[in-house]
């Protein structure tokens, strides 16, 4: 897992080998086969076909969230309920300082609705879910429920560009 600051204050960032990142509910991790598999199109191939910044793919009896477009370093900031994608910035401090302004000024895509059964694991979609613990990954503790998910982009500073994927829990 990439860290860019001091270990006691560092945000954990996940990077991919070039393809999309995916957030898979822990309950269905064993069903994500990544680039492995005997089928004509692997789960990784399905993730690569997702257009736009986010999309949902069926996995087991649930769905996984694909963070598409570019393989930017990504972390989850629970205080904002947002995956932050580091597109351009000189430092982690610039990225983190820019998040509030980015959230306020982002150009947002249409929302999707996602039923989340509980905690997620964010990792490179090329890896099988059962191997995610041995790869660069990030556990995201989410309460089970229905979420509105929206993706956006913002430039909170002259040399800082961020991608954002915000999750908002919906009332039952």
Structure tokens at 28: 């269905």
Residue 57 to residue 80: CA distance in whole angstroms: 24
3-state DSSP call for residue 61? coil
Structure tokens at 132: 């995610």
3-state DSSP call for residue 19? coil
Quickly tell me which residue has 């890896």 as its tokens.
127
Would the pTM of this model clear 0.75, i.e. be above it? Answer: yes
Q: What is the pLDDT of residues 116-158, one digit of tens each?
A: 999 999 999 999 998 877 778 999 999 999 999 999 999 999 9
Q: What is the pLDDT of residues 9-46, one digit of tens each?
A: 579 999 998 889 999 999 999 999 999 866 678 999 99
Residue 64 to residue 76: CA distance in whole angstroms: 15
Q: Which residues pair with 68 in a beta bridge?
A: none
């Amino acid at each position: 897992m990439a860290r860019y600051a001091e270990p006691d204050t560092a945000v954990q960032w996940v990077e991919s080998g070039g393809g999309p990142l995916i957030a898979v509910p822990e309950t269905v991790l064993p069903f994500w086969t990544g680039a492995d598999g005997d089928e004509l199109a692997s789960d990784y191939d399905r993730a690569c076909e997702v257009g736009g910044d986010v999309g949902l793919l069926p996995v087991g009896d649930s769905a996984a969230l694909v963070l598409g477009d570019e393989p930017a370093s990504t972390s989850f900031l629970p205080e904002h309920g947002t995956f932050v994608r580091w597109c351009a910035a000189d430092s982690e401090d610039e990225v983190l300082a820019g998040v509030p302004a980015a959230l306020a000024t982002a150009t947002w895509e249409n929302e999707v609705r996602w039923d989340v059964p509980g905690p997620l694991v964010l990792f490179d979609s090329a890896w099988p879910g059962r191997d995610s613990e041995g790869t660069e990954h990030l556990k995201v503790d989410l309460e089970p429920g229905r979420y509105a998910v929206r993706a956006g982009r913002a430039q909170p500073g002259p040399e800082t560009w961020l991608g954002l994927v915000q999750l908002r829990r919906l009332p039952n």
